[in-house]
């Protein structure tokens, strides 16, 4: 039985020291090899076409062509799984999320030196993410996506083969009390599109669990706030959910929903080791199903793995409303695909159509 060939990585970073350091981390990891090193975005675009790597480690701030524009060009010319490896300064974080909007699959903090107490954790995260993203089929070209959105704008009525409809079980639909959203790889772009389609007077609070390194989540909240008239903030434990507000779960603990009288509040639970993800979308969705029943709306967006499928099924079995992102609009169809296979999804659609559906749901309730 022949050995599996190593995953071929292209490194793009303007610092020779950083390239050498990251190349050393990759060389020490089994199953990975560096096939090229680009000093700027222009070289990265050319090397992707010439070397056809399995995954790109992309610095965000580089001369001549930065990581944002390089990602856009790669997704337009030769879509390749791209991981943004960024510093934590505010400007770089903002550019990193714009790169994800352009098609990058994940964003990571640059691994520190071996003297840093977080070295082992961040080194492992860097290697694990490169391996995981290399296995993703990038299904959306950036320019094709723009053309698809133009077509949807001109003809908003979806064709029967682009939206899969499922029979809604249970009693009469209740007025939505909460919109619960789970997302992973490719999620920031989908979230920005969905939230941009909601008006400032959209009443039900929106609570999001997005798989992402904890250090980037405040930056994600800030970036999403630029794409929606709704207020966006990080969720705190014991927080009373307010109307017209978007809450983003922090890392390190599970987020659940509970009641205080008739009001909804957020709670944080420590991971007991029984969940692969923290925060877990399944844990979050299951609490929404238990607490809200028919007044809960669950949405599963693009992402790898299966987190959220069982929890979304719980919401549907409690007669809440459930939606999943359509395969054509997903960066990664893993989580929505598993939810569909579980029978957890009432309708499958793109993020813009989800915003339309949510507006109608609140208007007609």
pLDDT of residue 164 exceeding 50, the answer is: no
Q: 7 falls in which pLDDT band (50, 70, 90)?
A: very high
Burial class (CB in 10 A: 0-12, 13-18, 19+), 10: buried
Is the bond preceding residue 328 a cis peptide, omega within 30 degrees? Answer: no
Instruction: Check residue 88 and give its pLDDT.
Output: 66
Mean pLDDT value across residues 25-43: 96
Burial class (CB in 10 A: 0-12, 13-18, 19+), 67: buried
Instruction: Check residue 49 and give its pLDDT.
Output: 97
Mean pLDDT value across residues 209-231: 92
Instruction: Give pLDDT tens digits for 105-119.
Output: 888 888 887 788 878
Instruction: Give pLDDT tens digits for 169-191.
Output: 334 457 899 999 999 988 998 99
Q: Enumerate domains of the chain plus CATH numbers.
A: 7-134 (3.40.50.2300), 151-364 (3.40.50.180)
Instruction: Check residue 97 and give its pLDDT.
Output: 85
Instruction: Check residue 163 and give its pLDDT.
Output: 31
Cα separation of 181 and 206, whole Å? 7
Using the 8-state DSSP alphabet, how is residue 240 labeled?
B
Instruction: Give pLDDT tens digits for 280-323.
Output: 999 999 999 999 999 999 999 998 889 999 999 999 999 999 99
Q: Name the residues annotated as catalytic.
A: 184, 211, 307
């Amino acid at each position: 039985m022949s050995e599996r060939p190593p995953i071929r990585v292209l490194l793009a970073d303007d610092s020779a020291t950083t390239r050498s350091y990251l190349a050393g981390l990759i060389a020490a990891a089994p199953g990975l090899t560096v096939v090229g090193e680009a000093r700027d975005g222009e070289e990265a675009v050319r090397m992707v076409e010439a070397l056809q790597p399995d995954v790109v480690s992309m610095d965000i701030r580089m001369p001549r062509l930065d990581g944002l524009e390089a990602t856009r060009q790669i997704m337009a010319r030769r879509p390749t799984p791209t991981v943004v490896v960024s510093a934590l300064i505010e400007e770089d974080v903002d550019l990193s999320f714009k790169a994800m909007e352009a098609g990058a699959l994940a964003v990571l903090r640059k691994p520190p030196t071996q003297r840093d107490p977080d070295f082992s954790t961040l080194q492992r995260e860097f290697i694990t993410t490169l391996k995981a993203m290399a296995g993703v089929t990038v299904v959306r070209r950036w320019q094709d996506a723009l053309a698809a959105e133009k077509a949807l704008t001109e003809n908003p009525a979806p064709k029967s083969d682009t939206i899969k409809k499922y029979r809604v079980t249970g009693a009469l639909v209740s007025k939505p009390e909460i919109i619960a959203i789970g997302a992973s790889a490719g999620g920031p772009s989908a979230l920005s599109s969905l939230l941009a389609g909601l008006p400032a007077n959209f009443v039900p609070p929106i609570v999001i669990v997005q798989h992402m390194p904890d250090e980037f989540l405040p930056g994600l909240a800030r970036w999403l706030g630029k794409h929606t008239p709704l207020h966006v903030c990080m969720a705190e434990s014991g927080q009373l959910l307010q109307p017209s507000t978007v809450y983003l779960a922090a890392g390190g603990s599970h987020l659940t929903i509970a009641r205080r009288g008739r009001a909804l509040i957020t709670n944080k639970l420590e991971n007991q080791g029984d969940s692969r993800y923290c925060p877990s979308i399944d844990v979050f969705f299951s609490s929404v199903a238990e607490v809200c029943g028919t007044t809960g709306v669950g949405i599963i967006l693009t992402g790898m793995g299966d987190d959220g499928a069982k929890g979304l099924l719980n919401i549907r079995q409690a007669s809440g409303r459930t939606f999943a992102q359509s395969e054509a609009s997903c960066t990664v169809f893993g989580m929505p695909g598993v939810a569909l296979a579980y029978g957890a999804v009432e309708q499958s659609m793109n993020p813009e159509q989800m915003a339309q559906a949510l507006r109608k749901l609140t208007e007609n309730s």
